[in-house]
Amino acid sequence: MNKKAATANPLIRLQAQRAGYTDEMVIYLHANATEGIDPYDTRKKLGSGAYPQLYAPVVDGILAVNSLPIPTQGSNLVVPVTLKSEVAGEVTLSLTELRALAEGSEVYLVDKLQDITVNLLAQPSYTIDLETAGELADRFEVVILMGEEQAEDPIVDPTDPIGGINLTETHTQPGVTIYAHRNTIYVGNVQGRTQVTVVNIAGQRVLSRQLEAEGLNAIHTNLPAGVYIVEARSQGGREVKRIFIE
């Protein structure tokens, strides 16, 4: 992976590779971009043959370069990714370039079929074995968690526990991921029974859930939009993360 010095606009480049054949797609963040087709996008032209094809599906087509608005600090962006292969067998998805993301940002690849969440900054490649050829249209997502500075939130002191949870982000469960997309909270890579607690910035415990399933767990909520603190606690440790629910 090539992590270049910061430039004006964040960029994430993904590659699909099998047997020496490669294809790539780009997620490009720009203040003037939209979620639809705009001048910063590049449409994907599909080919045929042995090489895998990687692209972003949107309402009006498929994109090789998917430009999107820059998320605010502390929020997240979920980008669907489609892999198409006319040949069965192993395909490796890799993060090959990361540019200009805010300090403290994280990038994850989510395999919804296998319930696997990969931290691409720690493990830039992920290999799957396709039993059959075809288009995997709703299997993968790239999740970008934008870094934030604690000092920008004047409402709470991160050293003061509220709702029984210290607000300082804690990472003592290696591999566990916490993020939100719209009104759903995702807790990934849990091992064994895990207690999830959600607290709002007023100090109120608004949700508590016990997870039994390993892998990626989706917790659907009806919470109002805003910033929340999520704690995932198990015998292996605890993970505390700030999230933004839309």
Q: How confident is the model at residue 15 (pLDDT cuts 50, 70, 90)?
A: very high
Quick count: other Cβ atoms within 10 Å of Cβ 116?
15
Quick count: other Cβ atoms within 10 Å of Cβ 123?
12
pLDDT tens-digit series, residues 41-77: 999 999 888 889 999 999 889 999 999 998 877 677 8
The predicted structure's pLDDT at residue 74: 65
CA angle at residue 40 from 147 to 67, to 5 degrees? 35
Between 198 and 164, whose confidence is greater? 198
**Do residues 95 and 26 touch, judged by C-beta distance below 8 A?**
no
For 150, the token pair is 């604690």
The predicted structure's pLDDT at residue 153: 38
Between 214 and 167, whose confidence is greater? 214
Q: Span 111-119, mean pLDDT?
A: 85
Residues comprising the chain, all counted: 246
Q: Span 152-175, mean pLDDT?
A: 50
On the question of pLDDT at 146 being above 70, the answer is yes
DSSP assignment of 61-101 = EEEEEEEEPPPPTT-EEEEEEEEEESS-EEEEEEEEEEESP
Non-local CB neighbours of 192 within 8 Å, separated by 6+ positions: 214, 234, 235, 236
pLDDT tens-digit series, residues 180-205: 887 889 888 777 788 999 998 777 88
On the question of pLDDT at 168 being above 60, the answer is no
On the question of pLDDT at 2 being above 60, the answer is no
Mean pLDDT for the chain overall: 83
> Which of these, 125, 108, 98, lies nearest to 178 by C-alpha position?
108
